[in-house]
Chains A and B, each alone.
Chain A
Amino acid sequence: MAVTALLTRQPPAPEAELAAFLAGRTVDGAVVAFVGLARDESRSGPVTGLYLDHYPGFTERSLERMAADADARFAVSDIRVIHRCGEVAPGEPIVFVAVAAPHRRAAFEAADYLMDRLKTEAAFWKREDGPDGPRWIEPTDQDRADRQRWSD
């Protein structure tokens, strides 16, 4: 059982992460991986880049807490969360989440839960840059509704 949550300025490498996460796994029948990518457009218009501000130490612990909560809540074996901070170009990965479990339902649910929490409660402040200048953004109504699916 390993639960890891890391913050990095480098783009996560989803393929290498997935390969490492799968290696030697014979007890778990299911691995769910999620990759969040920077889109080149949002509801506000074109996006030329993102900047994810963070509070060193505090942000890392927010990630670790969510990973630990997912681990406690679902019958999973391993969880790995890698989240980007700093400048992100469109098409680059922002977040990689992988969950392994003996059975697939727990793996899907834990990954889904983790993403809903990360999208609303991870301690980031996100700036979208576009032709009209930068805009600091908040979770969408959809993100908030998704988060409400998981009663605490």
Chain B
Amino acid sequence: MADSQIENMNVQPKVKLTKRDLIKHWLLGYSSETCYNFERLQALGTANAMIPIIKKLYKTKAERAKAIQKYMVFFNTEPSYIGTVIHGIAASMEEQAANGVEITDEDINSVRTGLMGPMAGIGDTVSQGIVYPILAGISCSLALAGNIFGPIFFEVGYKVIMLSTGYSMYMLGYKKGKTAVLSFLKAGTLNRITEIFSVVGLMVIGSLAATRIGIVTPIEFSVGEVGINLQKVLDSLLPSMLPLAATLGVWKLISNRMSPTAIIAILFVVGIVASLLGILAPLAQ
């Protein structure tokens, strides 16, 4: 990518996205999960959200077809709070590509795929691990006291946080994408950023795994007249061993390219059988 091209972009933009386009794109992103499915998760929804951007930047049907297709691939992130940053970056990359900067479809999709994982981990933790339980906890105590502000506070509070965070992240993505996209594509830089966010994402989903997978074993047996509670033995060895084992087991299945549907079927069978046999039980809360 020659310097001349950079100037090109700075000096003579042919098509420019307006604030209106960006807001449309951002808002449509909230329909990413409308036609939600196990095959490609948010692919169609994300493509749908790109429509205003693509219509603005490309005029012929062929160009539009080419542009929209790259969004039809598997995509999944936390879509409401944090993941919007990816859409912002995508919009700015499309804009620059349309203005002659040499950005390939692969460039765009590698940024999107690189960031979707960390943003999912972080976004889920923030939205569902922090904001939701705190707001819902407060609101429930209001509601149980018969106070109608309970649900209203929840609805308003949640949406205000969601939209303001989602908007800021989208715009951050667009801005950073605009100014940094060249360095972004420089070998290593994207990887580096992805890596850092992945570190954060990994730690927080580690924490989620430890708190949100609520299985224990109810096995108790007695050797002679001594009763042994297996869960206590396991805890004395390595606390919360079973949730970790479950996570790593499922991860193994995913690594072997088993489909989510198949894994869910397995979890059903394992869960039901293990429960009926008295091997697993839900953790009493």
Bound together: no
List the interface of chain A (C-beta within 8 A of B): none
